[in-house]
Amino acid sequence: MDNNSAQVFQKIYDEKGWQSQESVSGWGSELKNAAQVIRELPGLLRRFRVNSMLDVPCGDFNWMRHVDLTEIDYIGADIVPDLVEINKRTWAAPSRRFVHLDLLRDTLPEADLILCRDCLFHFSHVDVFRALERFADTAARFLLTTTFVYRTYPRNADIVSGQWTPINLEMAPYDLDPPLALLIEGSHESIIYGPDIGTVPMSDRCLGLWDMEIVRKRIRRLSGELRNTL
């Protein structure tokens, strides 16, 4: 990204740029928009025999603290150091720790599953692929991340990182295979497209679960595509 990612997201944090009155991490972290995730995530983790989870970015832990993570080793990571320090003081526990890192630059802690909710849709195409590459470099078995499954509305604009676009990871330029499972979020938010399309509820906003081998395969294919352009 053109700007240092730490500076971009620190500025958003300092200025309360996500505009939520409940959570500095934004509307998606409000309990009304995370209620179905809170309810259904534990069952998904049990179904796929997940024992450890990296949540990156973890934000202010507003909704995740309500998830039943019994027998799950949890690591919350974020690029904003102030958030990490507050989380450490308030929410750290024997099976729950928080670390400061930049997922586009730093080595990620190992876990069975990487949760990356409400993050990739703030990245440019280049930075989304950088993040996917960081995930693929771990030994994680699964990636659980935000995806909008409708194909009839605009998706995957190439934004400046720090902005926002609805993202469908099965569509170009990402072209991931279909996920193993979809957790429908039931968000109360809407997308304002403007006069041509209007305001569209985020009824297709989901967390998609991918086998990490699918992500690794896509990164290898991308590397081959890039080599062929040289």
Structural domains for the chain: 5-228 (3.40.50.150)
pTM across the whole model: 0.92
Residue 22, pLDDT score: 81
Phi then psi for 162, rounded to 5 degrees?
110, -20
Q: Is the peptide bond before 154 cis (omega within 30 degrees of 0)?
A: no
Contact 114, 140 (CB under 8 A): yes
Residue 230, pLDDT score: 40
Residue 4, pLDDT score: 76
Average pLDDT over residues 197-218: 96
Which amino acid is residue 117, in one-letter code?
R
Q: Could you write out the three-class secondary structure of the chain?
A: CCCCHHHHHHHHHHCCCCCCCCCCCCHHHCHHHHHHHHHHHHHHHHHCCCCEEEECCCCCCCCHHHCCCCCCEEEEEECCHHHHHHHHHHHCECCEEEEECCCCCCCCCCCCEEEECCCHHHCCHHHHHHHHHHHHCCCCCEEEEEEECCCCCCCCCCCCCCCCCCCCCCCCCCCCCCCCEEEECCCCCEEECCCCCCEEECCCEEEEEEEHHHHHHHHHHHHHHHHHCC
* Model confidence band, residue 24 (pLDDT cutoffs 50, 70, 90): confident
Average pLDDT over residues 154-178: 95
Residue 25, pLDDT score: 72
Percentage of the residues of the chain whose pLDDT score is greater than 70: 93
Q: Give the CA-trace dihedral at 174, 99, 62, 38, to 10 degrees.
A: 60
Q: Is the pLDDT of residue 149 over 50?
A: yes
Average pLDDT over residues 60-73: 96
Closest CA to 206 of 191, 186, 176: 186
Residue 8, pLDDT score: 74
CB atoms within 10 A of CB 198: 10
Contact 102, 5 (CB under 8 A): yes
Average pLDDT over residues 133-154: 97
Per-residue pLDDT tens for 71-128?
999 999 999 999 999 999 999 999 999 999 999 999 999 999 999 999 999 999 999 9
Contact 42, 64 (CB under 8 A): no
Which residues contact residue 39 at a Cβ distance below 8 angstroms, ignoring those fewer than 6 apart? none
Lowest mean pLDDT among 18-22, 80-84, 181-185: 18-22
Q: Is the pLDDT of residue 2 over 90?
A: no
